[in-house]
Structure 1
Amino acid sequence: MPEVLFRLDPTRKFTEQEKIGHNRWHPDIPPVATVRPGQSFRVHCREWFDGWMRNDDSADDIRDAPLSRVHCLSGPFAVEGADPGDLLVVDILDVGPMEEDSGPLAGMGWGYTGIFHKRNGGGFLTDEFPDAYKAIWDFRGQKATSRHIPGVTFTGMIHSGLMGTAPSADLLAKWNEREAALIARDPHRVPPLALPPEPRDAILGTLSGEDFERVANEAARTAPPRENGGNQDIKNLTKGTRAFYPVYVPGAKFSVGDLHFSQGDGEITFCGAIEMGGYIDFHMDLIKDGMRKYGVSENTIFLPGNTDPQYCQWLAFSGISVTEEGEQRYLDSQLAYKRACLHAIEYLTKFGYTGEQIYLLLGAAPIEGRFSGVVDIPNSCATIYIPTEIFDFDVRPTAGGTTRVDAGRGAPKSSF
């Protein structure tokens, strides 16, 4: 096993550990350790809410989730010899749930998926599903099942939702300027258009005093993906992945977190993956001047992992860029993907599930999402592919009609 460079004690909160990580992006957050090019090491990760969510049949924890605390990131790790303009080569050697197979923290034999309330984060379909819901998933090896969505079993694609390098001061200023301009378009929107710097609940490694106050007021939230990678939520960043991250500051300052047992493309419920804590093993290397050599001035490129579940039969749903009210939009691929998701939800509720159960399932199961047509004016076409083998019954259309399943107790709900 590689040396553990960031160890987490499950009995202590994220801010009480021997080494303190962070939950904001800023170039001045000190590294927790330094690694050499060519070195392999292990990192423990806490699930993104640091144990806030509970393995129970209530969605109150989802409803009341303190978004100002996320994400709990392990790092940053400085890489010897890394200079701005380099590419950081990150190999994921292994990734998995926490080593304890049962306990109170997500990753100890279980994980969760949540539909966030529209007034507290929302989601891709927040207008159609404005209330808070939760599904608990139990792990058995690589398989996931849920008491809240019966009749479904699937193999997880364990991956990290969030990895990235620290921004430079100039890049951070650019983020804050452009996101502030976006917020100014509709400052009272629910959910908001973007999340500005928020000193409350900031975790900034070992910074203290005036340095902490300054950085807390400048640092960017970790919710969106940005040029440094960040919260991309790409389900293919699994074991066997090689990713190439732009380096913006000396040492690169690489961080990781937000591990997922499984996820569908888009993580559409916002907390759409099966969230968990666990471990991830890395091997680091550098390509000097790689950003210029390969034209990678922003955002990561990667070679996907090789541990995808082997599903061979799929039921696909399509959508176009026309609203439910019949309004024509011009090549709106986001709307087309939304309509494809809604078509899948409407179809699968005919088997006895609630819409919320299927919404949760589409976020958690390894569905494939694709922009299938983006040039044929005026309509974009998007599709989602659902593996039929994940269901305990046949979900394909037949002349005999649908099979009605016992949807069980359903997904727990909480409203404001």
Structure 2
Amino acid sequence: MPQNVFPLDSSTRFADHDKVGHNRWHPDIPPVYTVKPGESFRVDCREWFDGAIKNDDSADDIRDAPLNTVHTLSGPFAVEGAKPGDLLIVDILDVGPIPQEEGPLAGQGWGYTGIFAKKNGGSFLTDQFPDAYKAVWDFNGQKATSRHIPGVEFTGIIHPGLMGTAPSPQLLKTWNQREAALIATDPDRVPPLALPPEPQGAILGSLEGEEFERIAREGARTAPPRENGGNQDIKNLSKGTRVFYPVFVDGANFSVGDLHFSQGDGEITFCGGIEMGGFIDLHVDIIPGGMEKYGVKENAIFMPGNVEPQHSQWLAFSGTSVTLDGEQRYLDSQLAYQRACLHAIEYLTTFGWSPEQAYLLLGAAPIEGRFSGVVDIPNACATVYLPTDVFSIDIRPGAGEPQKIDPGIGAPRSSFDG
């Protein structure tokens, strides 16, 4: 086993460890450890809310989730000799839940999926699902099942939702300026258009005093993906993946976190993967001058792993860029994907699942989302593919009546309105 350079104790808060990670992007957050090119190492990762979400039958914790504290990232890890303009090679050697543990922390044999309330983050379908919902999933080897969504079982594509390098001072300034300009176009929007720097809840490694206060005021939130990689939530970054990250600062200052046991394309419920803590084994190397050499000056490129489950049959749903009210939009691929997801949700309700159960399932199970047509004006076409073998009943259309499942206790719901 590679040396664990960032160990975490499941009984201790993330910020109380000897080596403390971070939850903001900033070039001046000091690295917690330095690795050499060609070195392999293990990193423990805490679930993104540091234990705020419980294994119970209430969604109050999802409703009240402290968004200003995410993500609990392990790192930064400096890579000896890395310089701005290089490409950092990151190989995922292994990744999984917290080994050989059962307990109250996500990753200790279980994980969760949440639909975020519109007043606290929202989701891809927030207008149709404005309240908070939760599903808890139990792990049995590589399989996941949930008491909140009976009738389904699937193999997880375990992966980190977030990996990335530190931004340069100029890149950080660019992020904050452009996102502030977007917020200014509709500052009172719910959910907000973007998340500005927020000192409250900031975790910044070993920093203290005035330096902590400065960086907390400047640090970019980790919620969106950006040029450095970040929270891309690509489900295919599984074991065996190789990623090439642009390097913007000396040492690269690489960080990782937000592990998922499984996820559907798009992580459409916002807390859409099966969130968990766990471990990840990495190998790093450097391509000197690789950003210019290969034209990878922003946004990582990657070679996905080859350990994904093999599904032989799919049921696919399509959507176009027309709103639920019948308004025509011009080649709006995001709207088309929303409509495809809504069609899949409505279809699954005919078998007994509630709309919320179906939506949570699309966030957690390994569905495939595709932009299928983006040139035929005025309608973009998007599709969502459901693997049929994850269901305990046959969900394909047929001549007889649809089979029905027992929806069980259902998905816990919590509303700000009571």
- Distance in 1 (alpha carbons) for counterparts of 2:401 and 2:292: 58
User: Who is 2:193 aligned against?
Assistant: 193
TM-score normalised over the length of structure 1: 1.00
Deviation, structure 1 residue 101? 3.3
- Distance in 2 (alpha carbons) for counterparts of 1:224 and 1:212: 22
Deviation, structure 1 residue 100? 3.2
User: Who is 1:245 aligned against?
Assistant: 245
Deviation, structure 1 residue 136? 0.2
User: Who is 1:341 aligned against?
Assistant: 341
Which digits, 9 at most, give the CA deviation of each residue in 1:284-318, with x for residues without a partner? 00000000000000000000011111111000000
Mapping of residues 12-411 of structure 1, within 5 Å: 12-411=12-411
Which digits, 9 at most, give the CA deviation of each residue in 1:223-244, with x for residues without a partner? 0000000000000000000000
- Distance in 2 (alpha carbons) for counterparts of 1:130 and 1:307: 36
Which digits, 9 at most, give the CA deviation of each residue in 1:149-168, with x for residues without a partner? 00000000000000000000
TM-score normalised over the length of structure 2: 0.99
Amino acid at match of 1:415: S
Deviation, structure 1 residue 401? 2.1
Amino acid at match of 2:133: Y
- Distance in 1 (alpha carbons) for counterparts of 2:136 and 2:231: 22
- Distance in 2 (alpha carbons) for counterparts of 1:35 and 1:136: 36
- Distance in 1 (alpha carbons) for counterparts of 2:401 and 2:348: 12
- Distance in 1 (alpha carbons) for counterparts of 2:94 and 2:297: 28
Partner of 2:160, secondary structure, is: strand
Amino acid at match of 1:333: S
Deviation, structure 1 residue 377? 0.5
- Distance in 2 (alpha carbons) for counterparts of 1:278 and 1:18: 18
Deviation, structure 1 residue 18? 1.3
Partner of 1:401, secondary structure, is: coil
Deviation, structure 1 residue 102? 1.0
- Distance in 2 (alpha carbons) for counterparts of 1:275 and 1:378: 37
Give the percent of matched residue pairs that are identical in Structure 1 and Structure 2: 76
Partner of 2:99, secondary structure, is: coil
Which digits, 9 at most, give the CA deviation of each residue in 1:20-67, with x for residues without a partner? 000000000000000000000000000000000000000010001000
Amino acid at match of 1:318: S
- Distance in 2 (alpha carbons) for counterparts of 1:101 and 1:34: 29
Amino acid at match of 1:191: P
- Distance in 2 (alpha carbons) for counterparts of 1:97 and 1:312: 27
Hey, which bits of structure 1, 4+ residues long, moved more than 3 A? none
- Distance in 1 (alpha carbons) for counterparts of 2:104 and 2:343: 36
Partner of 2:91, secondary structure, is: strand
Which digits, 9 at most, give the CA deviation of each residue in 1:87-117, with x for residues without a partner? 0000000000001331010000000000010
Deviation, structure 1 residue 212? 0.4
Deviation, structure 1 residue 169? 0.2
Q: What is the alpha-carbon root mean square deviation over aligned residues?
A: 0.4
Unpaired runs of 5+ residues, structure 2, are none
Which digits, 9 at most, give the CA deviation of each residue in 1:192-226, with x for residues without a partner? 00000000010000011110011000000000000
- Distance in 1 (alpha carbons) for counterparts of 2:61 and 2:322: 35
